[in-house]
């Protein structure tokens, strides 16, 4: 939900509208409108043959044989003299005061000669072109692209109006809203625009040989040439329209149409030779990068006229001397460093498609040392050199990206420092300057410079070790630098067509990585004026800017804005994040007039919260006023900023810090009751749907699968959240045993009314007793692997559904609860607090020793900055508690975190899985370990309801999605509390045993959750073994002619198949059985026991005597004595009494395994075979009778493995 960014009062909106520059619609767009084309202007064959110079007056008087002689080269050579002669004759006529009629004849004669000459000259040029096309050319290595040019020619006439309209609409809007356009321009817009009917052409192409297999290098000659319209008739001119654009601007008043000044640009022509380098790859989009290089300065020509086509038109290129050479020099100056050799512009196609603007990754530069550094002979202090290094990208004129420390007086300095640089592309060289530190106000002197290409780093597996290169000064080496380069790419995730997230490393928790690249974009602001204030008066006093602090340090400022209630900052900052969980910003609005005074307003946001807000389109953030007294004096009632953020994880190789865990603010409990109206995607049988909950697109927990389109799950799914704005969603899938599970639909969970704070700014518990319902949104046919931003994903959801015609795929009923976490200090934070306290003490001692009145302003600013930084860090930890392990163990409910740091697998090619308590599905599955060594660590969390009973299972398995019932390579089952006791303060090594032995080094954390009382369905007493004693029945109805019955009982859990049958008691209405059975219960609170009592008949099917329904929630798992019940029986109609049944229960609480080993359904294989051929069906036929039984279950409703003589099989009457 996007906050409303409009001013609430109507008159405020009116004032803003009056000041805004209007968006003006264009008068003529497209070649038809600009050229005045009508249907009657369509050209026929005769029109194409007509020539405006076919007949001239001179050609009628002079024979063609004479014309070719006297109007050929002779005339072209003497036309200058003819022009001079006509001018001289005109002068003579004027000098002797002759009549104007004499001038008429002079003009007629010279004009006829000139017109006839031009005709002859143009005919000569056309014949020359035809001759060139007819003559066979000498062979060269250039290829033609006529097929592409023909394609453009065919479609351009129809495509151009739409393209022009799109350009005009977007550009006119930008011109109206652009803040850089001077305010005295009241209106500016494109009034006429067309690209013409002649498209750009690719003249020739040259493909280079002997390149790498995945590299294609080509030279393209691109031209854009307008039509030659000199020989055309008026009808032709309306069909052959050249490029033309007329921009109009108004300097006086937006309402005064007579003050519009037109500027036209037409007949733009250019020719450019460019070189393209394509780097191919196997995965989509099959093209990794494209390098574009212009081989020479483009040849450009155009016609630009001030005042347009009016009689006052002023031809700008020719009227202003040197304009075109100046344009060419500007191209060389500004475009040269980007596109002219040896430089090129690199486009990362996958990055562009995904919407990633942060770059391709991080370059790690390890600067070791410098050997044999040479002193500068002209140095001010040549006897001593204090060297340090500056690092740039592209050129030394760009921003310094990093600097080393200064080594005092050394010609062989040693730094051993690592600097991380955000990398946009691989074409810009790495520039390293070695500088000599000077004392006082003298500028530091450059000793030498190094240019290092990084284009080859990917071909060396992203590592270039032990590099050695010389610093150069005046083309001479002045020392050798030893350094290493490591490229760390972004972990780009893909959104698969089913909505799940997959990234190239195989690590499902890439989004939870703690290091990477990030940016924030301050888009807009809003100052809401108080009702008793006048907007115009308030606007006159506005002159503010926004300053951003990171961990107490100022590191970014926006531009200033004046007299704007809705300023558009459009200020972006990109940076490297070495610890996402601790990165937080303070956005402060300050007055330009008094920047050192108290700020106007501020807000504090963590990086995680900014990213989460962007994901859910909740980018408007209200600001807090600096103080209540200041709020009273200001004319604003509210101030907001619109801030969005991007985040891309990068493994920076900094050990445990990369996988550090962000403490949660609490856990969300989603109790999924049921789903209704799910679509049946199966061709044979019905679907087996299950639901899972995802946080930021990563799966956390899932339910068991249930058969049918209206499943009842009654399961609780917990997930830890780190901010109220995290994107949490529920997705429903259909189990596919022969392929990947199919998504049925999804919906987003909203927590605006669930996650709240009290007056002390602490999160409070919220248990929602009322059921909620949400419709499942179907997936779409749009390939969502191309969608990197939430806006792009939203756009995809508006497209056609992936199946069926309806947009929704059923409805889900669920309940929501929130349990807050106890804010505590982690072990790392405890150490940081100790360092902070020492730093505060040292700072206080420093301030006490100084006389602040005698300090200069820079020294005072430095002290003030450090004070602000210490205050920010203190606020970061002040609200958290410091608890030792014994105190943590007193909390029985919490979030358990496991960090796998390293390990040794029993065999390569395996996955590491974690299971907790009764859940039979993996809480987390690692990436596939290609080797036996676990090189890349990972972190996972799980909500533990009862620490004293909790059990953790670590497994190494060959199958990625294996459940707990399936076989594994090695396994460890251990009480969770034991892991917490032994691996909390320091990492521990655990051994997993089985067919092979694996070892993992892990460290754990525990974050207590404050929960008044968890539901009974989530405790260990909800699982276990139920012992049922069938004692007797009373007052059963008679079913035989002798007034008696031969009763027996059958027991069911819910509506599933029978699990127990008693013996038959002959001729008795009060039978005594006293039989005992035991059954596994996986959901005691929500399951029920169903008992059917039958009368046995020898010659026919059994007769139903009565049915009893008993909720298992009535059983007290802690008291055996009170678990005896007399359960009433009712007839088949459900209302007629049919006696009572006496049962006793004993419940042994323990975690049970409710999953089974996954079997391939022949129904799935058959459905695949229907579309993929006979070979797949043949594979299905070899699966045996068990698989055939599965088909029978899908078609006839029977149960797998049931035979008619089975004692537990249902009697015919039950159907």
Residue 991 reports pLDDT greater than 90: yes
* Per-residue pLDDT at 653: 76
Once rounded to an integer, what is the mean pLDDT over residues 302-329? 77
Given pLDDT bands bounded at 50, 70 and 90, which one contains residue 1204? Answer: very low
Question: How many CB atoms neighbour CB 1093 within 10 A?
Answer: 25
Q: Which CATH superfamily is domain 1024-1149 in?
A: C2 domain (2.60.40.150)
Would you say residue 1209 has pLDDT above 70?
no
| Residues 522/568, Cβ–Cβ less than 8 Å | no
Q: What is the spatial distance between Cα 856 and Cα 845, in angstroms, rounded to a whole number?
A: 19
Determine the Cα–Cα distance for residues 566 and 636; give it in Å rounded to an integer: 13
Query: Is 410 buried (19+), middle (13-18) or exposed (0-12) by CB count in 10 A?
Result: middle
Q: Which residues pair with 940 in a beta bridge?
A: 898
pLDDT range class, residue 912, cuts 50, 70, 90:
very high
User: What average pLDDT does this structure show over 1170-1190?
Assistant: 34
Question: Strand, helix or coil at 780?
Answer: strand
Over residues 497-550, the pLDDT tens digits come to 444 555 444 444 555 678 899 999 999 899 888 888 888 888 888 888 999 988
Backbone angles phi, psi at 520, to 5 degrees: -125, 150
Q: Please report which confidence band the pLDDT of residue 1140 belongs to, taking 50, 70 and 90 as the band edges.
A: very high
Q: Which CATH architecture has domain 501-658?
A: Sandwich (2.60)
Q: What is the mean pLDDT of residues 821-829?
A: 92
What per-residue confidence (pLDDT) applies to 343?
83
- pLDDT higher than 80, residue 68: no
Q: Using the predicted structure, report yes or no on whether residue 675 has a pLDDT greater than 90.
A: yes
- Strand, coil or helix: what is 275? strand
1024-1053 pLDDT, tens digit per residue, is 999 999 999 999 998 887 888 999 999 999
Partners of 1001 in beta bridges: 902, 989
Q: Would you tell me how many other CB atoms lie within 10 Å of the CB of residue 115?
A: 15
Residue 461 is predicted with a pLDDT of: 85
Whether 8 shows a pLDDT value over 50: the answer reads no
Write the class of the CATH domain 892-1011: mainly beta
The per-residue pLDDT for range 943-979, each reduced to its tens digit, is: 999 999 999 999 999 998 899 999 999 999 999 999 9
Please provide residue 254's backbone torsions phi and psi, each rounded to the nearest 5 degrees.
Answer: -65, -20
> Are 278 and 290 contacting, i.e. CB atoms less than 8 angstroms apart?
yes
Quote the distance between the C-alpha of residue 843 and its chain's center.
43
Which DSSP letter does residue 269 get?
Answer: E
Check residues 663 and 1185 and name the one with the higher pLDDT. 663
The mean per-residue pLDDT over the stretch 644-661 comes to 80
* Residues 1079, 1084, 1086, 1089, CA torsion sign: positive
pLDDT value at residue 656: 57
* Residues forming beta bridges with residue 188, ordered by sequence position: 249
Burial of 854 (0-12, 13-18, 19+ CB in 10 A): exposed
pLDDT at position 380 is 52
Instruction: Tell me: pLDDT of 138 over 70.
Output: no
Residue 864 has what pLDDT?
83
Give per-residue pLDDT as tens, 368-421. 999 988 876 555 555 678 899 999 987 666 788 899 999 998 899 999 999 999
Residue with tokens 């079997």: 1159
DSSP string, 458-527: GGGTTEEEEEEEEEEETTEEEEEEEEEEEEEEB---EE-TTS-EE-TT--TTGGG-S-EEEEEEEEEEEE
Distance CA 375, CA 584 (A): 44
Contact 314, 307 (CB under 8 A): yes
CA distances from 339 to 245, 325, 437 (A): 27, 19, 35
> Percent of the chain having pLDDT more than 70?
80
Q: Which residues pair with 951 in a beta bridge?
A: 975
Q: Count Cβ atoms within 10 A of the Cβ of residue 473 and give its class: 0-12 exposed, 13-18 middle, 19 or more buried.
A: middle
Torsion sign over Cα 808, 809, 815, 819 = negative
pLDDT of residue 1201: 40
| 851 vs 848: CA distance, rounded Å | 8
Distance CA 1069, CA 1051 (A): 19
> Mean pLDDT score of the chain, rounded to an integer?
80
- Give the pLDDT band (50/70/90) at residue 1114: very high
Strand 601-606, strand 402-403: pairing:
unpaired
Helix (H) or strand (E) holding 885: helix 885-889
Proportion of the chain above pLDDT 90, given as a percent: 31
Per domain, the residue ranges of the chain are: 1-354, 360-489, 501-658, 664-774+784-820, 827-877, 892-1011, 1024-1149, 1162-1214
3-state secondary structure at position 600: coil
- Tell me which of 589 and 496 has the higher pLDDT: 589
Token pair of 904 as six digits: 């040794």
User: What CA–CA distance (Å, rounded) separates 860 from 586?
Assistant: 22
3-state secondary structure 364-433: EEEEEEEECCCCCCCCCCCCCCCEEEEEEECCCCCCCCEECCCCCCCCCCEEEEEEEEEECCCCCCEEEE
Tell me which CATH homologous superfamily contains domain 664-774+784-820: C2 domain (2.60.40.150)
For residue 1068, the tally of other CB atoms under 10 A from its CB is 15
360-489 shares its CATH topology with 664-774+784-820: yes
pLDDT for residue 396 = 60
pLDDT at 254: 53
Task: Assign domain 360-489 to a CATH class.
Answer: mainly beta
| Structure token digits, residue 402 | 């990093």
The pLDDT of residue 471 is 93
Q: Is the pLDDT confidence value at 181 over 90?
A: no
The pLDDT value given to residue 1205: 40
pLDDT given at position 689: 94
Residue in the structure block whose two tokens are 């209302």: 1135
1202 token code pair: 């049931």
User: Where is 87: in which H helix or E strand?
Assistant: helix 73-95
**The predicted structure's pLDDT at residue 70:** 46
Distance CA 330, CA 1081 (A): 80
| Calpha distance 119→339 (Å, rounded) | 42
The pLDDT value recorded for residue 379 is 53
Among the listed residues 906, 902, 1044, 1069, the one whose alpha carbon sits nearest the alpha carbon of residue 972:
906
Angle at 573 between CA 428 and CA 634, to 5 degrees: 160
- How would residue 232 be classed by pLDDT, with cut points 50, 70 and 90? low
User: Could you tell me the pLDDT band of residue 81, with boundaries at 50, 70 and 90?
Assistant: very low
Which residues share a beta bridge with 205?
Answer: 143, 220
User: Residue 1094: pLDDT band by 50, 70, 90 thresholds?
Assistant: very high
C-beta separation of 586 from 872 below 8 A: yes
Q: Is the peptide bond before 852 cis (omega within 30 degrees of 0)?
A: no
Q: What is the CA radius of gyration of the chain?
A: 41
Rounded CA gap, 266 and 764, in Å?
Answer: 67
């Amino acid at each position: 939900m996007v906050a409303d960014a409009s001013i609430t009062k109507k008159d405020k909106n009116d004032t803003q509208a009056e000041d805004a520059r209007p968006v003006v619609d264009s008068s003529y767009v497209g070649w038809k409108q600009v050229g005045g084309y009508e249907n009657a202007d369509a050209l026929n064959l005769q029109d194409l043959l007509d020539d405006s110079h076919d007949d001239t007056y001179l050609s009628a008087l002079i024979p063609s044989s004479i014309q070719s002689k006297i109007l050929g080269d002779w005339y072209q050579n003497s036309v200058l003299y003819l022009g001079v002669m006509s001018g001289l004759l005109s002068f003579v006529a004027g000098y002797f005061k002759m009549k104007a009629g004499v001038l008429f004849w002079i003009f007629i004669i010279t004009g006829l000669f000139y017109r006839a000459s031009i005709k002859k000259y143009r005919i000569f040029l056309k014949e020359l072109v035809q001759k060139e096309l007819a003559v066979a050319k000498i062979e060269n290595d250039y290829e033609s692209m006529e097929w592409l040019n023909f394609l453009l020619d065919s479609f351009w006439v129809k495509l151009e109006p739409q393209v022009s309209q799109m350009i005009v609409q977007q550009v006119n809007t930008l011109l109206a809203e652009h803040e850089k356009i001077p305010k005295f321009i009241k209106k500016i817009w494109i009034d006429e625009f067309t690209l013409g009917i002649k498209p750009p052409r690719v003249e020739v192409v040259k493909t280079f040989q002997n390149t790498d297999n995945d590299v294609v290098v080509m030279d393209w000659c691109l031209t854009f040439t307008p039509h030659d319209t000199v020989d055309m008739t008026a009808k032709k001119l309306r069909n052959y329209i050249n490029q033309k654009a007329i921009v109009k601007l108004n300097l006086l008043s937006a309402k005064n149409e007579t003050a519009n000044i037109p500027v036209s640009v037409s007949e733009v022509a250019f020719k450019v030779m460019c070189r393209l380098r394509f780097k191919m790859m196997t995965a989509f989009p099959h093209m990794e990068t494209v390098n574009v290089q212009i081989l020479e300065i483009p040849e450009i020509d155009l016609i630009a006229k001030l005042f347009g086509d009016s009689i006052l038109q002023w031809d700008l290129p020719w009227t202003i001397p040197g304009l075109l050479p100046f344009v060419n020099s500007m191209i060389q100056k500004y475009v040269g460093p980007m596109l002219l050799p040896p430089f090129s512009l690199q486009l990362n196609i996958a990055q562009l498609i995904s919407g990633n603007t942060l770059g391709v990754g991080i370059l790690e530069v390890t600067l070791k040392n410098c050997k044999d550094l040479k002193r500068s002979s002209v140095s001010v202090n040549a006897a001593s050199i204090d060297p340090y290094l500056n690092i740039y990208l592209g050129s030394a004129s760009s921003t310094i990206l990093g600097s080393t420390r200064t080594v005092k007086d050394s010609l062989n300095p040693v730094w051993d420092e690592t600097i991380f640089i955000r990398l946009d592309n691989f074409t810009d060289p790495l520039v390293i300057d070695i500088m000599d530190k000077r004392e006082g106000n003298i500028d530091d002197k450059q000793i030498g410079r190094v240019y290092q290409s990084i284009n080859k780093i990917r071909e060396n597996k992203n590592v270039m070790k032990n590099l050695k290169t010389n610093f150069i000064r005046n083309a001479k080496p002045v020392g050798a630098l030893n350094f290493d380069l490591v490229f760390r790419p972004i972990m780009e995730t893909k959104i698969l067509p089913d909505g799940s997230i997959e990234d190239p490393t195989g690590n499902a928790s890439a989004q939870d990585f703690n290091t990477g690249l990030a940016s924030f974009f301050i888009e807009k602001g809003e100052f809401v004026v108080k009702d008793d204030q006048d907007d115009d008066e308030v606007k006159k006093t506005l002159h503010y800017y926004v300053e951003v602090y990171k961990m107490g340090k100022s590191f970014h400022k926006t531009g200033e804005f004046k007299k704007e209630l809705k300023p558009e900052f459009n200020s972006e900052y990109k940076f490297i994040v070495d610890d996402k969980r601790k990165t937080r910003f303070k956005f402060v609005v300050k007055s330009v007039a008094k920047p050192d005074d108290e700020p106007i307003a501020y807000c504090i946001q963590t990086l995680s919260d900014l990213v989460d807000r962007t994901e859910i389109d909740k980018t408007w953030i209200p600001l807090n006023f600096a103080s209540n007294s200041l709020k009273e004096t200001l004319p604003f009632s509210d101030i907001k900023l619109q801030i969005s953020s991007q985040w891309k994880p990068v493994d920076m190789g900094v050990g445990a810090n990369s996988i550090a865990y962000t403490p949660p603010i609490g856990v969300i409990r989603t109790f999924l009751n049921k789903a209704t109206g799910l679509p049946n995607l199966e061709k044979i049988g019905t679907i087996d749907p299950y639901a899972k909950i995802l946080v930021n697109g990563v799966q956390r927990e899932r339910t068991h699968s249930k058969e049918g389109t209206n499943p009842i799950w009654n399961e609780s799914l917990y997930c830890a959240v780190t901010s109220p704005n995290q994107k949490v969603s529920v997705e429903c899938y259909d189990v596919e045993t022969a392929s990947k599970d199919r998504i049925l639909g999804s919906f987003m969970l909203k927590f605006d009314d669930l996650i709240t704070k009290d007056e002390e700014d602490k999160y409070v518990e919220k248990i929602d007793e009322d059921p909620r319902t949400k419709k499942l949104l179907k997936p779409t046919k749009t390939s969502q692997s191309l969608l990197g931003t939430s806006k792009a994903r939203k756009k995809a959801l508006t497209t056609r559904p992936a199946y069926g015609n309806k947009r929704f795929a059923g409805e889900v009923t669920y309940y929501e609860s929130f349990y807050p976490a106890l804010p505590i200090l982690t072990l790392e934070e405890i150490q940081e607090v100790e360092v902070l306290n020492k730093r505060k003490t040292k700072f206080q001692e420093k301030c006490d020793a100084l006389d602040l009145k005698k300090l200069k302003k820079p020294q005072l600013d430095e002290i003030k900055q450090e004070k602000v930084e210490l205050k920010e860090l203190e606020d970061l930890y002040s609200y958290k508690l410091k608890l030792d392990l014994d105190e943590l163990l007193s909390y029985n409910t919490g979030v358990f975190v496991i960090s796998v740091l390293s390990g040794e697998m029993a065999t390569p090619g395996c996955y590491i899985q974690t299971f907790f308590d009764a859940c039979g599905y993996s809480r987390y599955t690692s990436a596939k370990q290609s080797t036996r060594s676990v090189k890349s660590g990972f972190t996972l969390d799980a909500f533990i309801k009862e620490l004293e009973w909790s059990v953790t299972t670590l497994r190494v398995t060959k199958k990625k999605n294996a459940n707990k019932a399936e076989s594994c390579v090695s396994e460890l089952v251990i009480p969770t509390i034991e892991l917490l006791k032994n691996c909390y303060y320091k990492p521990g090594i655990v051994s997993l045993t089985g067919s092979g032995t694996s070892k993992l080094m892990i460290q754990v954390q525990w974050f207590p959750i404050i929960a008044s009382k968890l539901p009974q369905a989530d405790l260990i007493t909800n699982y276990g073994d139920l012992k049922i004693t069938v004692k007797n029945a009373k007052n059963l109805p008679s079913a035989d002619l002798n007034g008696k019955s031969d009763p027996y009982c059958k027991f069911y859990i819910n509506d599933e198949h029978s699990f127990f049958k008693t013996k038959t008691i002959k001729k008795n209405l009060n039978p005594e059985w006293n039989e005992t059975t035991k059954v596994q219960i996986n959901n005691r609170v929500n399951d029920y026991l169903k008992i059917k009592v039958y009368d046995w008949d020898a010659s026919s099917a059994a007769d139903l005597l009565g049915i009893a329904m008993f909720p298992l929630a009535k059983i007290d798992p802690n008291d055996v004595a009170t678990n005896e019940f007399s359960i009433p029986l009712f007839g088949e109609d459900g209302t007629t009494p049919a006696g009572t049944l006496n049962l006793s229960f004993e419940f042994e609480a323990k975690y049970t395994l409710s999953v089974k080993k996954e079997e391939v359904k022949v129904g799935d294989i058959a459905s695949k075979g229907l579309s993929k051929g006979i070979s797949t069906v043949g594979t299905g036929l070899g699966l045996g009778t068990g698989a055939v039984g599965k088909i029978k279950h899908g078609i006839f409703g029977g149960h797998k493995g049931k035979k008619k003589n089975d004692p537990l099989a249902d009697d015919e009457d039950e159907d």
